Amino acid sequence: MFTGSLVALITPFENGAVDEAAFRSFVDWQIEEGTDGLVPCGTTGESPTLSHEEHMRVVELCIEAAAGRVPVIAGAGSNSTREAVMLSEHAQKAGADAVLVVTPYYNKPTQEGLYRHYKAIHDAAEIPIIIYNIPGRSIVDMTVETMARLAELPRIVGVKDATNDLARPMRTRLACGPDFCILSGEDATAVQLLAGDGQGCISVTANVAPRMCADMQRAWGERDLKTVMDLQLRLMPLHDAMFCETSPGPVKYAASLLGKCSPEARLPICEIAETSKQRVRAAMQSAGLLN
């Protein structure tokens, strides 16, 4: 259903407010550069510090700017099931193609609690749902067994896997079946996930290197492994630099170097350190993105 290079979009700010013009322009640039899908209001989009009104507006802006050219998978996660339902229902009404729902952070629900959380969203909103499993940020790890239970529901269609467990995609495929969409949530291991029968990557790096990320995914589809490895090796320092501090601090600074938006983030994410700025700049130069 969803394949290739999908970008976990940053949310540009200017003087504390969402910079709508910069966001629209950024969406256009992403599509022009070959990005296969757009993911607004995920963690990279600073969803935890967006108000509900801002969150919904950014989703609407993304859908309007995309204008049907590529799929839009709207972030709709929350550690409150009611809030996740509300955001999913809004995304459906706004015209999103799917929602991305992170496992509830801080609450640490049981596996049964996880199942009921996603089933409640599934039953309330008639929109495809992609599970976002990222134990490093949410603490809880959805097991393959729980995911297989959820995959039996018709609108639970896939997973963004950020476990860094390279055996997980194959186990997920065996448990969830051939039609379940498996997407990487880690740029550095995106190729390994493809080799484990994945379909693509929801990428942070694609915010600043959309063409290379898309070309790498397409080269995999063509089984041009030399191009895949050449591009991934070229991108690897950039993948690492994007997480030299807590995301999205580094990627917003990187986007500012390209003139795409200000580096402004919302507290508790703050301006990255000078040493980190030097590392980000050097990685972008190494990738050929800056002179």
Question: pLDDT tens across 46-73, in order?
Answer: 999 999 999 999 999 999 999 999 999 9
Which residues, at least 6 apart from 8, have a Cβ–Cβ distance to it below 8 Å? 39, 42, 43, 44, 45, 202, 203, 204, 206, 207
Pairing relation of β-strands 200-203 and 129-133? Answer: unpaired
Does a structural domain hold residue 282?
no
pLDDT, tens only, 229-253: 999 999 999 999 999 999 999 999 9
Strands laid side by side in the 181-184 sheet: 37-39, 4-8, 200-203, 181-184, 156-161, 129-133, 98-102, 73-75
Q: Rounded to two decimals, what is the model's pTM?
A: 0.96
Which CATH number is 215's domain given?
3.20.20.70
Count of structural domains within the chain: 1
Does a structural domain hold residue 252?
no
Does a structural domain hold residue 267?
no
Q: Is 260 a catalytic residue?
A: no
| Residue 73 near residue 96, CB atoms below 8 Å | yes
Q: Could you identify the residue written with the tokens 């993911």?
A: 39
Q: Of the listed 132, 252, 253, 260, which one is catalytic?
A: 132
Q: Is 106 a catalytic residue?
A: no
What are the structure tokens assigned to 248, written together? Answer: 């999205």
Q: Of the listed 160, 252, 260, 277, which one is catalytic?
A: 160
| Residue 70 near residue 32, CB atoms below 8 Å | no
Does a structural domain hold residue 266?
no
pLDDT for the residue 1 = 78
